[in-house]
Amino acid sequence: MSSALECHNTRKTFCVRKEMNEGSILSRVINRLVPKYKIVPAVEGLTFHVEPGEIFGILGPNGSGKSTLIRLISTLLLPDEGSITVFGHDVVKDRLEVRKLINRVSVDAAFFKGLSAMENLSYAARLYGLDKDVWPGMASDILSRLGLEREKLHEPLEDLSRGMQQKVAVARALLTDPLLLLLDEPTTGLDPVSKREVQDFILEEREQRGTTVVLTTHDMYEAERLCDRVAIIDHGRFVALDTPENLKLKVSGNGENVTLEEVFFVLTGKELKYNGKSECVSE
């Protein structure tokens, strides 16, 4: 069987406006002479593959290229160089075919906030042409497994908590029964109970449907609990790729117990902060 996902020498850069000092007359003259934009590399020559049914994690500080990579895989961005294929379909040449095989959950899922969970899911179901006699039962089952109370299904999303809204986003993505599920920091900001419920559901989906998952996260425990392999990305490049256990062994050297957080620090030189409070995220 071919790989679920293959990236070969994938590159993406962005043109970003420079911050200009408009204070003095000399500064304004220099600003007219110096280019106002700079090229910033976001993804630099990534080559890797993901096997069918694998949960593949991508860890990295903010601005390291995680979300850009997810958008490239999901056809929302075009690579500048290299290639990406999803179950053999090129994300540029066969983007419509790719979109039939994938779905995506982002950290800031977009909804019609004045509509209920079921009304939002109804919109998504019609957009994808799902059977109107089948999808409501699927949606209720998914949301029930995620721990969303049935009475909450018909309340406006704006009245639901961040955790409940994110569960609806997961349900919306799974309505289409995707072969590849792209999860871009899906549990960031969730309370511990909601986070655990979403994690359990991801494991269930892989077990029951064989769903392939690519997960970006700041949560080291989440990565260790869910992922078969983990890639650590920094400045658009993978600085490590292996199983969580092998990464810890490589860093410890002599078999000492180390955490995935310590591995992250050693390989990137970036200290994990706690978001001003207690949640493990990176800057």
Mean pLDDT of the 184-198 span: 87
8 Å CB contact between 220 and 260: yes
User: In a 3-state reduction of DSSP, which class is residue 36?
Assistant: coil
pLDDT: which is higher, 161 or 269: 161
pLDDT digit string, tens, across residues 122-150: 998 998 888 888 888 888 888 888 888 88
pLDDT at residue 49, rounded to an integer: 97
Residues 223-276: tens digit of each pLDDT: 999 999 999 999 999 999 999 999 988 887 765 678 888 888 888 876 544 343
Helix (H), strand (E), coil (C) string for 155-210? CEHHHCCHHHHHHHHHHHHHCCCCCEEEEECCCCCCCHHHHHHHHHHHHHHHHHHC
| CA separation for the pair 31, 18 (Å, rounded) | 10
Domains and their CATH numbers in the chain: 5-109+178-282 (3.40.50.300)
* pLDDT tops 90 at residue 101: yes
Q: What is the pTM of this model?
A: 0.84
pLDDT bin (cut points 50, 70, 90) of residue 194 is confident
Q: How far apart are CA 16 and CA 73, in angstroms?
A: 22
Q: What per-residue confidence (pLDDT) applies to 282?
A: 34
